[in-house]
């Protein structure tokens, strides 16, 4: 069960839980779903015995595992689901053998982010994983490189922000900027709002937007880590549409270059299906980049991700999926 936006209505209780986890020096790095499944499948990991088991590994937990300072806010936020002796969800009225958290908490350095509990099977799941770490690392590298951005960042937007890590990491480094964390999912926006609060990123503005349709005006910086998988179930946090999942990323490039101020930057992290040694995504956007930018750079951050996807329908000719980073500066 994935909580809806209504589940996060107790904003203050969830924010209090986040601050308590930070005070406890909680740390957790989120792994791939396949690794998560393998680690949780070990017999000794059937039930959680500590904070990382409850909030990181999404294991069921029994009474007494959580201290009152954490158990209270979790229940106040309505995010503790009862489970039976096998760790499965139970119906109302049945005596629980334990509970499980309906949110997961991951960390990037000192910063804590709530997102959907594992496994993320539902259409409205708010995803966070290894791609998030690559995305924020690439972002921080650009922000830390002298002269990488051609104009000061006063107004920025993260398209498909999910739980908000990209927007928040930017906002904490550009305190004078207004950073819009946009998404089409109410649950994502609710979590981005909580996470901004927990991390004291008060210049983040969560708002609903399909690409850039929900926010007016121009931007100094447009950034995104969109879905890029061709998903047969069209789950919004995975499905990029079009040939091999590239459609959404292509649309983002065009939308961003239409709305950036002159000298403004597009920072895009995405996955690309490589077919017979060729990069169809780059081929699709090269003309727009050459015609509408002063400069652009494009690099593979990881040559082989989501290898298991190659066995799925639609990937018969794909030899690998690469994680790529695009930095384009709109023509002045």
Q: According to the model, what pLDDT value does residue 8 have?
A: 55
- The pair of three-digit structure tokens given for residue 24, joined into one six-digit string: 């406890």
Range of the domain at 25: 5-110
> Is residue 184 classed exposed, middle or buried when 0-12, 13-18 and 19+ CB atoms within 10 A define those classes?
middle
Whether 145 and 218 share a structural domain: yes
Q: Does the pLDDT value for residue 164 go beyond 90?
A: yes
Looking at residue 231, what is its pLDDT?
79
pLDDT score for 9: 54
Kindly state whether residues 309 and 266 are assigned to the same domain.
yes
| DSSP-H helix ranges across the chain | 11-23, 33-40, 51, 68-76, 130-144, 165-173, 186-198, 247-259, 280-292
CATH number of the domain that 197 lies in? 3.40.50.150
Q: What local confidence, expressed as pLDDT, does residue 95 receive?
A: 87
What would the pLDDT profile of 49-85 be if each residue is shown by its tens digit? 999 999 999 999 999 999 999 999 999 889 999 999 9
Verify that 246 and 269 share a domain, yes or no: yes
For residues 310 and 212, membership in a common domain is answered with yes
Q: Are residues 43 and 159 in the same domain?
A: no
Does residue 311 share a domain with residue 173?
yes
CB atoms within 10 A of CB 109: 9
Tens of pLDDT, residues 294-317? 999 999 999 999 999 999 889 999
Average pLDDT, the chain: 93
Among residues 59, 88, 110, the one where a domain terminates is 110
pLDDT tens digits, 79-133: 999 999 989 888 777 889 999 999 999 999 999 999 999 998 787 889 999 999 9
CA-based angle 104:40:137, to the nearest 5?
50
Spatial CA neighbour of 136 closest among 33, 228, 262, 29: 29
Under the banding of pLDDT at 50, 70 and 90, the label for residue 4 is: very low
> Is 292 found in the same domain as 237?
yes
What's residue 155's pLDDT?
A: 98
Instruction: Choose the final residue of a domain: 110, 136, 155.
Output: 110
**Which among 202, 207, 215 has a CA at the least distance from the CA of 188?**
207
Q: What is the mean pLDDT of residues 277-288?
A: 97
Q: How many CA atoms lie within 13 A of 260 on its CB side?
A: 31
- 53 in the same domain as 177: no
Q: Exposed, middle or buried by CB within 10 Å (0-12, 13-18, 19+), for 303?
A: exposed
Which strands form 219-224's sheet, in the order they lie side by side? 204-208, 178-183, 155-159, 219-224, 260-275, 318-330, 293-302
Where residue 32 falls among pLDDT bands split at 50, 70, 90?
very high
Please check whether residues 175 and 275 belong to one and the same domain.
yes
What is the C-alpha separation between 307 and 290, in angstroms, rounded? 31
* Higher-pLDDT residue of 124, 135: 135
**Cα separation of 49 and 30, whole Å?**
18
Looking at mean pLDDT, say which of 101-110, 140-149, 225-234 comes out highest.
101-110
Q: How many domains does the chain have?
A: 2
pTM: 0.94
For 318-329, what is the mean pLDDT?
97
Asked whether residue 105 falls in the same domain as residue 198, the answer is: no
- Distance, CA of 103 to CA of 109 (rounded, Å): 19
Beta strands (DSSP E) in 91-218 are 98-101, 103-108, 111-116, 155-159, 178-183, 204-208
- Lowest mean pLDDT, pick from 1-15, 80-94, 109-123, 184-198: 1-15
Once rounded to an integer, what is the mean pLDDT over residues 189-200?
97
The predicted structure's pLDDT at residue 1: 44
Please say which residue of 58, 83, 110 terminates a domain.
110
Residue 65 lies in a domain: yes
């Amino acid at each position: 069960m994935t909580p809806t936006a209504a589940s996060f209505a107790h904003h203050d209780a969830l924010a209090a839980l986040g601050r308590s986890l930070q005070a406890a020096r909680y740390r957790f790095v989120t792994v791939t779903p396949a690794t998560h499944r393998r680690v949780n499948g070990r017999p000794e990991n059937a039930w959680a015995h500590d904070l990382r088991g409850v909030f990181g590994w999404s294991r069921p937990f029994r009474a007494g595992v959580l201290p009152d300072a954490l158990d209270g806010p979790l229940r106040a936020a309505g995010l503790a689901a009862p489970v039976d002796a096998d760790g499965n969800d139970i119906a109302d009225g049945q005596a629980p053998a334990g509970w499980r958290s309906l949110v997961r908490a991951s960390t990037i350095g000192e910063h804590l982010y709530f997102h959907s509990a594992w496994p993320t099977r539902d259409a409205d799941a708010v995803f966070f994983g290894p791609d998030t770490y690559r995305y924020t690392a690439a972002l921080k590298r650009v922000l830390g490189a002298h002269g990488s951005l051609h104009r000061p960042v006063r107004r920025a937007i993260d398209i498909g922000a999910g739980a908000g890590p990209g927007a928040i990491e930017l906002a904490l480094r550009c305190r004078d900027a207004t950073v819009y964390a946009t998404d089409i999912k109410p649950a994502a926006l609710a979590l981005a709002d909580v996470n901004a609060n927990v991390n004291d990123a008060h210049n983040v503005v969560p708002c609903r937007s399909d690409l850039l349709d929900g926010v007016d005006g121009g931007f100094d910086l447009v950034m995104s880590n969109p879905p890029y998988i061709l998903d047969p179930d069209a789950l919004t946090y995975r499905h990029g549409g079009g040939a091999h999942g590239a459609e959404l990323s292509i649309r983002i490039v065009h939308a961003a270059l239409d709305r950036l101020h002159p000298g403004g930057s597009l920072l895009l992290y995405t996955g690309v299906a490589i077919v017979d040694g060729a990069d169809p995504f780059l081929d699709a956007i090269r003309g727009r980049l050459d015609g509408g930018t002063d400069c652009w750079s494009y690099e593979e951050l990881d040559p082989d991700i989501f290898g298991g996807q190659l066995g799925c329908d639609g990937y018969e000719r794909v030899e690998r999926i690469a994680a790529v980073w695009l930095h384009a500066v709109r023509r002045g």
